[in-house]
Amino acid sequence: MRLSPRLMFPFALLAASITWIFTIERLPTLAPLTEEVIEPLPPPQPAMPVIYDFPVTLSLCPKLYVANAPPTDTGLHIIGYTATITVNGVTLARAPVEDGCVSSGFGARNDQVHTGVDLYNRDPVAIYAAADGTIREAEYRDDYGNMMVIDHGNGVFTRYAHMASFSGLQAGETVLSGQIIGVMGNTAGYLVPRHLHYEILTGEWGEQAGSFALAPTDPLALPPID
Ligand SMILES: [Zn+2]
């Protein structure tokens, strides 16, 4: 059937209107004026370095009077020094620092007993955990400055004093042997040169006295001769 142009006109008009309506509806709508929020990526976490091999030599600090100095060769290297010492079956680093020299040994000093060994460095070098363990104390005291005590099990503990920082660690956290636990400092209620005062302690943790109930051992003591 053929429609005359006159009859087709209303249909053509209707079709054009529908096309126009659809065209209008298809017009792109304006994008909302909200910016996409991009969360900044967290800063990359530095890998926690762990020292697996502590240095096998240790020297006395040159041009310094060193109390209770162990015997050395002419180059001030401690004779018979080994990187570690084993106490009650726990192997501990004797000098758990990035770099340092002995500025004071263990034993009677002035009218007191020096209960550890002092490892000196002019610079704020890293301090390492002497062995795997759990941090029992991490606090400031006027005598020891920022002080950390690590429990290594078997009644063996190590104390680190005058630290500049604890590297974000706190009591209750576990650490690995050779893990950085802080930075060498000179914190105390009195003037003290930058150094690590390092103690090896044995015994039973004190209910009241905490680590001060423990007995100190000389970290530089030579192994017993069989
Ligand atoms: Zn000391």
Secondary structure of residue 110 in the 3-state scheme: coil
Number of domains in the chain: 1
Q: Give tens-digit pLDDT for 147-172.
A: 999 999 999 999 999 999 999 999 99
Q: For residue 92, what are the domain limits?
A: 84-217
How far does residue 31's CA lie from ligand 1's centre (Å)?
69
CA end-to-end span of the chain? 122
Asked whether the beta carbons of 163 and 182 are under 8 A apart, the reply is yes
181 located within any domain: yes
Asked whether the beta carbons of 193 and 186 are under 8 A apart, the reply is yes
Among residues of the chain, what percentage have pLDDT more than 90?
A: 73
Among residues of the chain, what percentage have pLDDT more than 70?
A: 78
137 located within any domain: yes
150 located within any domain: yes
162 located within any domain: yes
151 located within any domain: yes
115 located within any domain: yes
How far does residue 24's CA lie from ligand 1's centre (Å)?
85
**E-assigned strands of the chain?**
84-87, 90-93, 101-104, 107-109, 112-114, 117-120, 126-128, 133-141, 145-151, 156-165, 174-175, 180-184, 195-202, 215-217
Decide which of 56 and 10 is more confident: 56
Averaged pLDDT of the chain: 87
CA-to-CA distance for 143 and 111, rounded, in angstroms?
Answer: 16
183 located within any domain: yes
Query: Residue 50 has what pLDDT?
Result: 78
How far does residue 40's CA lie from ligand 1's centre (Å)?
45
196 located within any domain: yes
Q: What is the CATH number of the domain that holds 91?
A: 2.70.70.10
Band of pLDDT at residue 32, cut at 50, 70 and 90: low
